[in-house]
């Protein structure tokens, strides 16, 4: 049934049980330990008193042949009695009770201990023995405290038995246990009240988070939880707010992307439909017909380019990246071939210093697509007869940073954070005139994320823009170590 309980109930019950068990166990251990110490103290006192009485009994017997006088001492505690035996013959008995006989007789004599606890009629007694030296003289036996003349001394050894009533010790132990159980009951009530209050207070943020989830699930992403502390639950609330903000931003970006996509599609479609209607009209002359066909062809190509860009973006988002070691020179050559026509039209010069030793780890096709998009943006932003520089920062021949620098129109600082948003264009009129739709850098961002890297932009309006792509060097270290281990294994097996 506990799995059906609320969290605050589980916290309350588990904490309550744990606290009561801990208190009870500690209390019982303390009580039992104290009881054992009390018994040890009683045993020590009984042994000491038996030793003292031994000397008194021996002296009284030797001087007066009397076993009664020493036990009439008023300093002897009331809960202490004595017995004197010669062999199994009782010479004196101040106790008057016999230990209960064993329930089973196993056919052999049980050895008598000099110090033992015996229960008689549900009362605990301590028996302590001391040997007596009566020098073999005749003794008068005393039964129930009265001397009986006529007893003849034997040759068997004599012994003194001290009997101490331990009822008070056990009564104190029982009283302590009763007090302990009473305290457990009081503790249970107080702890239950405290645990219920504490568990309800602890679970308040969880209830708020639960309510917030329901609110956000109703498409109200602007809702935020209050953060009033620094504990784990408040940290969870803060992270929930961060998640809601990220979701809200993503939805805003996607709505913006969809709006831009609709706008990008709607304009050429409207023109195509209009010119198609004009072609269908009988009033359309030859020159008008040629103009309409050219415009329809241009806008159709633009739509085709838009569809290809979107398809490429979606493919990259869902593609399983197959990484391998790739030469940097090969990636740069593939990208430069792809943009050569655009560069030649503006008489742009793309400069790159060959780095035969440099290598990258990733998907060769995606890395080439990344560089093509960066170069395409630089070509569109550059004027005629300008240049574009491709650079690389190496670390032990591994490409740690790849950069593309142009000397074009530049980008305002407030626009840099928006460059990777789908369909975002800094200069929309210029981008449309060059068949741009604002997906190039979004594709670059997806490619870089698939390679665990990051992209940075720095730009000055009128001077140019630099794009830096950073690749994690830790990936190279891990792969180099894995390769070394593989080669060592191959050498050992070989």
pLDDT for 375-402, tens place per residue? Answer: 988 898 888 889 999 999 988 888 889 9
User: What CATH number did the domain enclosing 336 receive?
Assistant: 3.30.565.10
306: in domain: no
What does the alpha-carbon distance between residue 75 and residue 85 come to, in Å, rounded to a whole number?
23
Tens digits of residue pLDDT in 301-333: 767 766 766 666 565 555 566 778 889 999 999
152: in domain: yes
216: in domain: no
What does the alpha-carbon distance between residue 119 and residue 125 come to, in Å, rounded to a whole number?
6
Token digits of residue 85: 């035996």
Closest among 36, 113, 45, 117 to 76, alpha carbons compared: 45
**Helix, strand or coil, per DSSP, at residue 475:** helix
pTM tops 0.85: no
Tens digits of residue pLDDT in 222-237: 888 888 878 788 888 8
Domain membership of residue 361 as a residue range: 319-481
76: in domain: yes
Question: Chain centroid to CA 185: how far?
Answer: 35
Q: Averaged over 46-58, what is the pLDDT?
A: 89
More confident: 85 or 439: 85
What does the alpha-carbon distance between residue 272 and residue 114 come to, in Å, rounded to a whole number?
120
Element (H, E) at 304: helix 286-318
271: in domain: no
Is the predicted pLDDT of residue 213 greater than 80, yes or no?
yes
What does the alpha-carbon distance between residue 71 and residue 144 come to, in Å, rounded to a whole number?
12
Determine how β-strand 464-470 pairs with β-strand 398-406: antiparallel
More confident: 102 or 91: 91
Q: Averaged over 246-258, what is the pLDDT?
A: 75
What does the alpha-carbon distance between residue 169 and residue 162 come to, in Å, rounded to a whole number?
17
267: in domain: no
Predicted local confidence at residue 431, as pLDDT: 47
What are the helix (H) ranges across 319-439?
328-345, 364-381, 428-433
Token digits of residue 476: 């190279």
Of these ranges, 291-305, 457-471, 473-487, the one predicted with the greatest mean pLDDT is 457-471
221: in domain: no
User: What CATH number did the domain enclosing 124 receive?
Assistant: 3.30.450.20
Q: Averaged over 470-482, what is the pLDDT?
A: 69
139: confidence class by pLDDT, cuts 50, 70, 90: very low
Q: Averaged over 433-459, what is the pLDDT?
A: 76
What does the alpha-carbon distance between residue 449 and residue 446 come to, in Å, rounded to a whole number?
5
The total number of structural domains that make up the chain: 2
182: in domain: no
Domain boundary among 157, 173, 189: 173
Residues 6+ apart with CB under 8 A from 376: 339, 342, 440
231: DSSP letter: S
Domain boundary among 123, 146, 173: 173
Residues 6+ apart with CB under 8 A from 348: 379, 382, 384, 385, 386, 387, 388
Domain boundary among 135, 155, 173: 173
Predicted local confidence at residue 104, as pLDDT: 46
Tens digits of residue pLDDT in 328-359: 999 999 889 888 888 888 889 999 988 888 88
Is the predicted pLDDT of residue 138 greater than 50, yes or no?
no
Predicted local confidence at residue 448, as pLDDT: 86
Residues 6+ apart with CB under 8 A from 370: 443, 444, 447, 448, 469
């Amino acid at each position: 049934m506990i799995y059906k309980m609320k969290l605050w109930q589980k916290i309350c019950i588990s904490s309550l049980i744990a606290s009561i068990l801990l208190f009870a166990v500690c209390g019982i251990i303390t009580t039992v330990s104290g009881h054992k110490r009390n018994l040890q103290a009683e045993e020590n006192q009984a042994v000491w008193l038996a030793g003292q009485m031994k000397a008194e009994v021996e002296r009284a017997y030797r001087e007066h042949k009397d076993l009664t006088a020493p036990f009439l001492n008023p300093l002897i505690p009331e809960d202490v009695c004595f017995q004197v035996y010669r062999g199994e013959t009782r010479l004196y008995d101040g106790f008057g009770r016999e230990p209960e006989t064993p329930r089973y007789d196993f056919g052999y004599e049980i050895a008598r201990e000099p110090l033992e606890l015996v229960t008689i009629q549900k009362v605990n007694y301590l028996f302590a023995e001391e040997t007596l030296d009566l020098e073999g003289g005749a003794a008068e036996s005393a039964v129930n405290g009265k001397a009986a003349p006529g007893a003849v001394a034997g040759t068997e050894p004599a012994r003194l038995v001290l009997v101490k009533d331990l009822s008070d010790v056990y009564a104190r132990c029982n009283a302590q246990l009763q007090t302990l159980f009473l305290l457990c009951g009081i503790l249970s009530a107080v702890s239950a009240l405290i645990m219920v209050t504490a568990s309800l207070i602890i679970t308040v943020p969880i209830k708020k988070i639960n309510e917030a989830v329901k609110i956000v699930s109703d498409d109200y992403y602007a809702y935020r939880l209050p953060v009033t502390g620094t504990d784990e639950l408040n940290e969870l609330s803060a992270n929930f707010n961060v998640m809601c903000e990220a979701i809200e931003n993503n939805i805003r970006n996607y709505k913006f992307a969809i709006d831009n996509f609709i706008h990008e599609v709607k304009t050429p479609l409207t023109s195509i439909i209009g010119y198609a209607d004009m072609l269908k009209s009988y009033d359309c002359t030859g020159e008008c017909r040629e103009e309409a066909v050219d415009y329809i062809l241009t806008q159709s190509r633009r739509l085709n380019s838009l569809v290809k860009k979107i398809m490429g973006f979606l493919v990259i988002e869902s593609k399983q990246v197959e990484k391998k070691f790739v030469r940097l020179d090969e990636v740069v050559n593939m990208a430069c071939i792809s943009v050569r026509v655009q560069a030649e039209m503006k008489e742009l010069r793309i400069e790159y210093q060959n780095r035969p030793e440099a290598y990258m780890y990733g998907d060769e096709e995606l890395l080439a697509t990344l560089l093509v998009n960066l170069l395409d943006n630089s070509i569109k932003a550059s004027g005629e007869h300008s240049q574009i520089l491709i650079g690389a920062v190496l670390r032990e021949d591994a490409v740690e940073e790849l950069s593309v620098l142009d000397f074009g129109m530049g980008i305002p600082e407030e626009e840099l954070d928006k460059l990777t948003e789908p369909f975002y264009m800094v200069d929309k009129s210029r981008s449309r005139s060059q068949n741009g739709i604002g997906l190039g850098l979004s594709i670059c961002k997806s490619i870089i994320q698939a390679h665990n890297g990051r992209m940075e932009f720095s730009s000055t309006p009128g001077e140019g823009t630099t794009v830096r792509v950073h690749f994690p060097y830790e990936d190279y270290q891990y792969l180099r170590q894995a390769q070394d281990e593989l080669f060592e294994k191959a050498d050992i097996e070989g």
